[in-house]
Amino acid sequence: MRGKECPDEIKYTVDDKEIDDTFVVHISIPPNYAGTKEYPLVVMTDGVWRLSDHPKLRPLMKDGVIDDVILISIGYPNDFLHFIVDNLIPYLSEIYPVSDKNITLTGHSYGGYFAYYTLFHSDTIARNTFENYYIGSPSMQAHTRKKYIRDYEKEYYERCKELNANVYIIVGDEEDSGFVSGIESFEKSLEERNYDGLNIIYEIIEGYGHDTVFKPSIRNALKIFYGRSDVDR
């Protein structure tokens, strides 16, 4: 990894020999960062589209609305989940005082599909790395090797009735009705599974469409997962 540091953000070029690919990883540290304290990670899987959100989310920490976290933005290579779990997080844990608890994975649209994919592989590939999932406007039509989200969820349910995770699912009320109905149908079926340990919050964000709903909803997600009880939010 090769790093370039600036005041609030550190940029790494990551060369992954296992999958023969190179990625750019942006990391934003808390305003009052201290090397003696451990911080949860918030992993944003939507790459360069999430960079503008870093400076908008850091004030939540500065103002004491949420606990301090380390923000990470990365893109989409093949074998992406292996890269995050097996390579990136262990490497960052050698550099930063990263907590292995309360780690969040976020994804919007196709990234939302990836977040669901990770959730239903939490007991295998993901190795229970993530405790919290932000799933924004997930693309239910996306698939991997001809398997869809429903297929992966069914396979997970067949091998395990416990799913320890906090999941925040959102859509914008101005998104296509057919697109939203598919998301809502799956969310309801997920609730009906009654997994032990699974906490789901589903929310429709008024006044936003598919391309604009991430910014307000990711703020909500961080408040839900890291909000301080002593602060009026």
The pLDDT of 36-42, averaged and rounded, is 95
112 contacts: CB under 8 Å, gap ≥ 6: 135, 136, 137, 138, 139
Burial class (CB in 10 A: 0-12, 13-18, 19+), 57: buried
The answer to whether 215 and 53 are in contact (CB under 8 A) is yes
Closest CA to 88 of 139, 16, 194: 16
Higher model confidence: residue 229 or residue 116? 116
Look at residue 13 in the predicted model and tell me its pLDDT.
63
Sorting pLDDT into bands at 50, 70 and 90, what band is 90?
very high
Q: Is the pLDDT of residue 233 over 60?
A: no
The pLDDT of 200-209, averaged and rounded, is 98
Look at residue 201 in the predicted model and tell me its pLDDT.
98
Q: Which helix (H) or strand (E) holds 106?
A: strand 104-108
The pLDDT of 49-60, averaged and rounded, is 83
Look at residue 230 in the predicted model and tell me its pLDDT.
72
pTM: 0.89
Q: Is the pLDDT of residue 183 over 50?
A: yes
Closest CA to 203 of 179, 191, 215, 220: 220
pLDDT in tens, 122-151: 999 999 999 999 999 999 999 988 999 999
Flag the least confident range among 8-17, 89-98, 106-115, 172-181. 8-17
Q: Is the pLDDT of residue 181 over 80?
A: yes
The answer to whether 42 and 31 are in contact (CB under 8 A) is no
